[in-house]
């Protein structure tokens, strides 16, 4: 974001806010409202005027479209993590829609109004009338609290498919902490720096909403993604640096996801899990990407960022920036002339291109709940075994 455009952006936000306040809810264009809330999420807007708009919308929740209701709850998660507890508690107590139920329960869980058992009891009551896969997997997510993971050494040496590039990205359960990405070449060796050390870059798997990965715009889901190449996106907030193109199950045909090694024309969980070492096939966390894709998530890629960093200066992950669920890498831009001054994304792409094979699999692994960034030293221990 160039300095000359920052004031224009702020003025445009205020103008849009005033425009919404000058209309009745019935006269507000719902598509424009949802789009504004979506864009406000990307900068974690927290102004008093914006908070007043959120409060007004909550009071008129039943008059909003379903799409806008979802976006509103996402925006509350994003910018007002504990400001609207009583309002959301009211929505939760009477919500019949499964998606809105999950969004509201996540907010109350985050604020310790409910615990996991409370939500599971409510789910059991709902199951008499609801049979949605979202509720089924959400209950599965709530029931599994075990932080122990299978053997990392086994995962790091596993032959997923012959002659494929494998990218491993490790995250903490708390996605505010930086994760770490390493790359294994088709010959089984890891990409290294010129000094012989293992190549790695920090990455963030945090969505601005910080919601579970099965939800649209949630955190990066753990599990297996198919690497299908690279491209340059026209999305301005991502920037012009090339990205690693990855796809979830159900997002593309099975022959694309499995690189023509599929056994079935339709997705099934067993075939997906069979890519993993046997000890990892029962780790529920690795199914998150599968069910996220089944529930409609898509377009999760590995990219840099052209976001305005000033909105994230107080966050522990700064100067990385959150997204809507992608894996993001640090990029620093000159705010006066727009030139790129520092880029871990460029380093990542050079390492990816050096493998000579631009297809394979991305493994997103959630390690534990340690309150610290993932370091190369802790991963290297398992590579050397």
Query: 208-228: per-residue pLDDT in tens?
Result: 999 999 999 999 999 999 999
Does the CA dihedral 120-121-125-128 come out positive or negative? positive
338 burial via Cβ count (<10 Å: 0-12, 13-18, 19+)? middle
The per-residue pLDDT for 26 is 82
Instruction: Assign 116 to helix, strand or coil.
Output: helix
Q: Average pLDDT, whole number, for the chain?
A: 93
- Rounded Cα distance between 180 and 74, Å, is 27
Q: What is the rounded average pLDDT of the residues 262-269?
A: 94
C-alpha dist (Å) from residue 95 to 12, 89, 180: 34, 10, 39
Confidence of residue 6 (pLDDT cuts 50, 70, 90): confident
- Rounded Cα distance between 20 and 34, Å, is 12
The per-residue pLDDT for 50 is 94
Q: What is the rounded average pLDDT of the residues 353-369?
A: 97
pLDDT in tens, 51-79: 999 999 999 999 999 999 999 999 999 99
Q: Decide if 285 contacts 159 (C-beta within 8 A).
A: no
The per-residue pLDDT for 13 is 85
- Rounded Cα distance between 312 and 44, Å, is 8
pLDDT above 80 (res 385): no
Confidence of residue 337 (pLDDT cuts 50, 70, 90): confident
Q: How many residues does the chain have?
A: 385
Confidence of residue 192 (pLDDT cuts 50, 70, 90): very high
In which residue are the tokens 């966390």 written?
285
89 versus 24: the higher-pLDDT residue is 89
Does the CA dihedral 354-358-361-364 come out positive or negative? positive
Q: Which two tokens stand for residue 330?
A: 């640090």
**Alpha helices, DSSP H only, in 60-190?**
66-79, 85-94, 98-110, 116-126, 133-143, 152-157
Confidence of residue 368 (pLDDT cuts 50, 70, 90): very high
Q: What is the rounded average pLDDT of the residues 119-123?
A: 91
Lowest mean pLDDT among 72-81, 147-156, 244-253, 344-353: 147-156
The per-residue pLDDT for 140 is 85
The per-residue pLDDT for 345 is 98
The DSSP 8-state label assigned to residue 356 in this structure reads S
The per-residue pLDDT for 98 is 92
The per-residue pLDDT for 90 is 95
For the chain, the structural domain boundaries read 3-143, 152-383
pLDDT in tens, 303-318: 999 888 988 999 999 9
- Rounded Cα distance between 5 and 376, Å, is 38
C-alpha dist (Å) from residue 287 to 43, 221, 245: 30, 9, 20
- Rounded Cα distance between 268 and 265, Å, is 9
pLDDT above 60 (res 360): yes
R_g of the chain computed on alpha carbons: 21
SS (H, E, C) 336-351: CCCCEEEEHHHHHHHH
Contacting residues for 313 by C-beta, under 8 A, at least 6 apart: none
Confidence of residue 230 (pLDDT cuts 50, 70, 90): very high
The per-residue pLDDT for 11 is 82
Q: What is the rounded average pLDDT of the residues 86-92?
A: 96
Closest CA to 33 of 62, 72, 60: 72
Backbone phi and psi for residue 341, each to the nearest 5 degrees, phi listed first = -100, -25
C-alpha dist (Å) from residue 332 to 86, 88, 285, 379: 40, 37, 33, 27
Range 152-383 classified under CATH 2.40.440.10: yes
**Alpha helices, DSSP H only, in the chain?**
3-21, 30-42, 48-59, 66-79, 85-94, 98-110, 116-126, 133-143, 152-157, 254-257, 269-273, 288-294, 344-354, 376-383
- Rounded Cα distance between 226 and 67, Å, is 29
The per-residue pLDDT for 307 is 86
% pLDDT > 90, the chain: 79
The DSSP 8-state label assigned to residue 190 in this structure reads B
DSSP 366-384: E----SS---HHHHHHHHT
- Rounded Cα distance between 148 and 123, Å, is 26
């Amino acid at each position: 974001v160039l300095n000359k455009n920052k004031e224009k952006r702020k003025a445009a936000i205020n103008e849009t806010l005033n425009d919404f306040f000058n209309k009745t809810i019935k006269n507000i264009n719902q598509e424009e409202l949802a789009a504004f809330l979506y864009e406000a999420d990307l900068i974690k807007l927290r102004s008093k005027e914006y908070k007043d708009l959120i409060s007004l919308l909550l009071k008129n929740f039943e008059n909003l479209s379903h799409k806008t209701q979802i976006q509103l709850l996402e925006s509350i998660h994003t910018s007002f993590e504990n400001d609207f507890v009583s309002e959301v508690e009211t929505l939760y107590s009477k919500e019949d829609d499964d998606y809105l139920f999950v969004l509201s329960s996540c907010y109350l869980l985050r604020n310790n109004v409910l615990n996991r058992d409370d939500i599971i009891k409510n789910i059991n009551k709902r199951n008499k009338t609801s049979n949605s896969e979202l509720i089924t997997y959400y209950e599965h997510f709530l029931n599994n609290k075990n932080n122990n993971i299978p053997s990392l050494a086994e995962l790091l040496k596993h032959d997923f498919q012959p002659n494929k590039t494998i990218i491993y990205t490790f995250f903490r359960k708390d996605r505010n902490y930086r994760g770490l990405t390493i790359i294994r070449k088709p010959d089984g060796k890891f990409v290294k720096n010129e000094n012989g050390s293992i190549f790695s870059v920090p990455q963030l798997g945090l969505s601005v909403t910080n919601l579970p990965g099965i939800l649209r715009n949630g955190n990066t889901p753990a599990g297996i993604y198919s690497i299908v190449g690279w491209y340059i996106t026209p999305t301005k907030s991502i920037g012009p640096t090339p990205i690693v193109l990855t796809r979830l199950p159900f997002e593309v045909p099975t022959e694309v996801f499995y690189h023509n090694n599929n056994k079935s024309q339709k997705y099934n969980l067993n075939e997906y899990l069979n890519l993993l070492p046997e000890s990892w096939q029962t780790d529920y966390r690795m199914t998150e990407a599968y069910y996220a894709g089944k529930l409609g998530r898509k377009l999760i890629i590995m990219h840099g960022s052209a976001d305005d960093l000033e909105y994230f200066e107080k966050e522990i992950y700064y100067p990385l920036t959150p997204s809507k669920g992608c894996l993001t890498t640090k990029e620093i831009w000159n705010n006066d002339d727009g030139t790129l001054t520092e880029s871990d994304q460029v380093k990542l792409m050079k390492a990816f291109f050096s493998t000579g094979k631009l297809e394979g699999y991305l493994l997103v692994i959630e390690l534990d709940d340690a309150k610290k960034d993932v370091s190369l030293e802790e991963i290297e221990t398992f590579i050397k075994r």
